[in-house]
Amino acid sequence: MRLHRLAEYELAKPAQDSVIEIGQDCTPSPLAGSPLAYFLQHLRIEFRRDVMSLTETPQLWASRPELVQTTSADVDEHCAQLGGWCLTYDQISAGAFRGSFTQLTLSRLELFREVTSQQVRQCGQLGRDSFGIAVPWRGEGPVNVNGIGIGEDALIVSFDADIDISTPRSFELRGVTLSARQVEEMATRLAIELPRDLRHRMRAVAAPAAARARFRTALTAIDVLLSAPTSTLPQNGRTGDMLQDSLLLAITDLLPDARPCDDTRSGAARKRIVDRACELMLATTDTPVSLLDLCKAVGASRRKLSYCFQDVLGTSPLNYWRAVRLNRVRRDLKSLHDPRDGIYDIAVRHGFWHFSQFSLDYKRHFAELPSETLRRTRMDASSELRHNASHH
């Protein structure tokens, strides 16, 4: 069975035959007349009351959905607020970082919107048995996924796989996460054949324009939620189920025709070269690796290596090497593993031998001096100690 439209959805199960439209409930709803009700009504999706669930996942609607909004001026703090995902972010471009993250947690999925001001490399996992599908909403350049640069006309799919993407400046990403098992169950129930090359991989994929447009429309629900008063957030199970079913249907409409973006083989080859080069560069940060040695080790000319880094990470080998080490210095300054460590000790540990040049590079990259980072960290630690002492 193919779902080419989101107008209707039905699974066979004999029972009553009453129709519930989005925004309509058998009991008075606090959403009546609200922007969210109008948006859901406008989607024109009808559901049978007797319809079986898209999955056998139990409904958990004991209260309203959880809406979380965070902002941060530090890339590590921003990363730590990403809904329990196991990711590490390195800020690659220079300048003050600004980030925001919004997540709406429903009973079977999470709808999210992430905004980052600087170029970032994201590595890690969404979690065990996780499926994520996202749309590059806007940005100053392409998103690099496995050596392939993509724009707003493509999708990023992670099917129980590791995450490794490089995002541009002024970037916004919107998407949905849920369990990979749930996606498999939906495909079985709806007789949808999932592309084999999507499983256990993160891919940049192309999909029909109409299906992409429907998915983007479903993702705009988060805009309506943010513009509506808190009191109008969905507070009953049926409205929330309808909202997430519109997203699940949009996903099932996308996946059957999803195909990897062009140039997959050469993209994978470029990524292998970059991964090997990064491994060599960062293996011993206190002993710099020359560009010539790096080229010999990976079997690529200087020009080819530069092209590969630009395609995969959006920057040059030297800029990436410096940026990652600066990020490591910053994390050490904020972690206070050994209070006796000074800034120079930490800088040398990561291969910065010329302190004045290091300070200039650090300030250019993070818009503050390393001494300012350390001072703020110690002030935060002292404040936390005082707070803990007052509660004993």
Residue 85 shares a structural domain with residue 101: yes
Domain count, the chain: 2
Say if residue 162 is in the same domain as residue 295.
no
- Whether residues 339 and 279 share a domain: the answer is yes
Which of 14-23, 97-106, 169-178, 228-237 shows the lowest per-residue confidence on average (mean pLDDT)? Answer: 14-23
What pLDDT shows up at residue 17? 35
End position of a domain, from candidates 215, 241, 260: 260
Pick the range with the lowest mean pLDDT from 4-18, 69-83, 354-368.
Answer: 4-18
Q: Are 157 and 253 found together in one domain?
A: yes
Residue 170 sits in the same domain as residue 26: yes
Are 228 and 198 in a shared domain?
yes
223-246 CB burial, b ≥16 within 10 A, e <16: ebbeebeeebbbebbbbbbbbbbb
Residue 349: pLDDT above 70?
A: yes
Q: Which is more confidently placed, 131 or 261? A: 131
The pLDDT confidence band at residue 332, using thresholds 50, 70 and 90, is very high
Tell me which range, 7-11, 311-315, 383-387, is most confidently predicted by mean pLDDT: 311-315
Q: Containing domain of residue 354, as a range?
A: 264-381
Pair 87, 219 in one domain: yes
Q: Could you read off the pLDDT of 118-144 as tens digits, one per residue?
A: 999 999 988 888 999 999 999 999 999
Q: What is the pTM of this model?
A: 0.81
- Give yes or no: residues 67 and 175 share one domain: yes
Q: How confident is the model at residue 37 (pLDDT cuts 50, 70, 90)?
A: low
The pLDDT value recorded for residue 392 is 57
Could you identify the residue written with the tokens 């509660």? 391
Predicted local confidence at residue 389, as pLDDT: 62
